[in-house]
Amino acid sequence: MYFSPLGLSPTLLRALAELRYMQPTPVQLAAIPLILAGRDMLASAETGSGKTAAFCLPLLQRLAAAPGGRPRRVRALILVPTRELAVQIGEVARQLARYETSALKIAVVFGGVSINPQMMGLRGGADVVVATPGRLIDLLAHKALDLAGVQTLVLDEADRLLDLGFDDELQQILVRLPSARQNLFFSATLPAPVQALAARLLQSPARVDVLPEVLEVSAIAQQAIEVDSSRRTQLLRHLIGQESWSRVLVFVATKHAAEIVADKLRKAGLAAEPFHGELSQGKRTQVLLDFKNSELKVVVATDVAARGLDVSQLPVVVNYDLPRSAVDYVHRIGRTGRAGESGLAVSFVSAATQAHFRLIEKRQGVTVPRTQVAGFEPLETAPALAPTESRSEAGAATGGVKGKRPSKKDKLRAAALLAADKDAKTDSDDSDNKADTDD
């Protein structure tokens, strides 16, 4: 099916054709007619499913059909959790709106950079504002914009907005919006806080649910390589050379690990950079630009990049450290295999993290083949419980109260985080040791 039967304008169809959007994805097919009809929506769809165009296309059409006049008033507000996602949505919206006869002004605002240029950019108003919550509140405090004319509110990655602690900021923003508006919630998962917020704000919403495994992993070859945790950097270097990977996105657990691993790769002659939340916005933007232009071979990232990072034709993702949950696993590997391309997702699994990876497999309903690489066969064994620790003593430590004992899932997550912290410390110590086997 093509886009034309969905009721989109000729100008949007022209932009879609030039951008080579050939057929709507499932979320676009379901969401576009409902949004055009003015319905509130609660959509469960993963990053990479095409959800940005799913809400941008009908939003732009409705705005273009009813020009806002002068000065411009903010008529659509899109809230997102990260700077990268804000920039990505702004770019997509501008590309789609390029042929609209009534030119729409789209402003993108986020923290980590000076507020003054953003305030100047908002002079004369804007039709669409894409914003992270903290910076939007700053701009409201400076009276740089007014939300009284907002007709549509979009919460993209709603689960991540709440996970990152934006609850208070959301409440401050919501009280400034008119009560009569269209609300669109897009979320990869629908935990209780998201459902509670949706129940409070959405009016008879349409539900759109897209299965993550169909969109995220169907075109991705998954592989788990068993390796001792102390030899992961060596193995990564070996694979990059042996497999001739042109670009690879490597996920680690902490910003410290990102710095250490990237530094070791650079010392080995590879063009590599870390990517985490404490880098300046200018540095993060430059890293992504260099990576997209293939000037960097490796980016070593924390989960700040798991959502909102869109790199076309990215061939490989590596889980150097395993993610905390199956949902994060899907988001990570979903950076490859996008837009119909094939991709490879490799996970390094040590003896200490085997149980955690089995839990990820169970949650996803998949079994990922285990392999070993010649010369990197693991020697470690799974850690055993201390001899003095018993099941009854473990229960006593939590008071023996039902519902207060850590679940198996909690224990596995704690073990994985402990292993990651230990690995990061080991890497840090090794970096100061000339006898480091990774070098």
Round to whole Å and give the CA distance between 228 and 418. 15
pTM of the model: 0.61
| CATH 3.40.50.300 domain locations along the chain | 4-210, 214-431
Cα–Cα distance list, 138 to 61, 119, 133, 384 (Å): 29, 10, 9, 51
Please state the separation of Cα 107 from the chain's center in Å: 21
What type of residue is 435? A
Per-residue confidence (pLDDT) for residue 389, from 0 to 100 = 40
Per-residue confidence (pLDDT) for residue 187, from 0 to 100 = 87
Is residue 79 exposed (0-12), middle (13-18) or buried (19+ Cβ within 10 Å)?
Answer: buried
User: What is the residue-wise DSSP string for 64-118?
Assistant: HHS---SS----EEEE-SSHHHHHHHHHHHHHHTTT-SSPPPEEEE-SSS-HHHH
Round to whole Å and give the CA distance between 69 and 271. 49
Per-residue confidence (pLDDT) for residue 366, from 0 to 100 = 87
What type of residue is 110? F
- Select 214-431's CATH number: 3.40.50.300, 2.60.120.10, 3.40.140.10, 3.40.50.1360: 3.40.50.300
Round to whole Å and give the CA distance between 247 and 288. 12
Q: At which residue do the structure tokens 């066969």 appear? A: 377
User: What is the residue-wise DSSP string for 206-242?
Assistant: EEEE--HHHHHTTTEEEEEEE--GGGHHHHHHHHHHH
Per-residue confidence (pLDDT) for residue 58, from 0 to 100 = 96
Residue 402 per-residue DSSP state: T
Three-state DSSP state, 288: helix
Where is 156: in which H helix or E strand? Answer: strand 152-156
3-class secondary structure for 346-391? EEEECHHHHHHHHHHHHHHCCCCCEECCCCCCCCCCCCCCCCCCCH
Alpha helices by DSSP H, listed for 340-403, are: 354-364, 391-397
Radius of gyration of the chain (CA): 23
pLDDT in tens, the chain (439 residues): 578 889 999 999 999 988 878 788 889 999 999 999 999 999 987 766 788 999 999 999 999 988 766 778 999 999 998 888 898 899 999 999 999 877 899 999 999 889 999 999 999 899 999 999 999 999 999 999 999 999 999 999 888 888 778 888 999 999 999 999 999 999 887 888 889 999 999 999 999 988 554 444 567 899 999 999 999 999 999 999 999 999 999 999 888 999 999 999 999 999 999 998 777 767 887 888 899 899 999 999 988 655 656 777 889 999 999 988 887 888 888 888 766 677 899 999 999 999 999 999 988 888 999 999 999 999 988 665 444 443 333 333 333 333 334 454 455 555 555 555 554 444 444 443 433 333 3
Going by C-alpha positions, the residue among 255, 221, 246, 250 that lies closest to residue 236 is: 250
- Cis omega (within 30 of 0) for bond into 71: yes
Round to whole Å and give the CA distance between 404 and 319. 31
Per-residue confidence (pLDDT) for residue 281, from 0 to 100 = 63
Q: What are phi and psi of 88, to 5 degrees?
A: -60, -45
Q: At what angle do helices 255-267 and 232-242 cross, to 10 degrees?
A: 50
What type of residue is 151? Q
* CATH architecture of the domain covering 4-210: 3-Layer(aba) Sandwich (3.40)
**Tokens at 98, concatenated:** 């390029």
Cα–Cα distance list, 404 to 389, 397, 407 (Å): 18, 10, 9
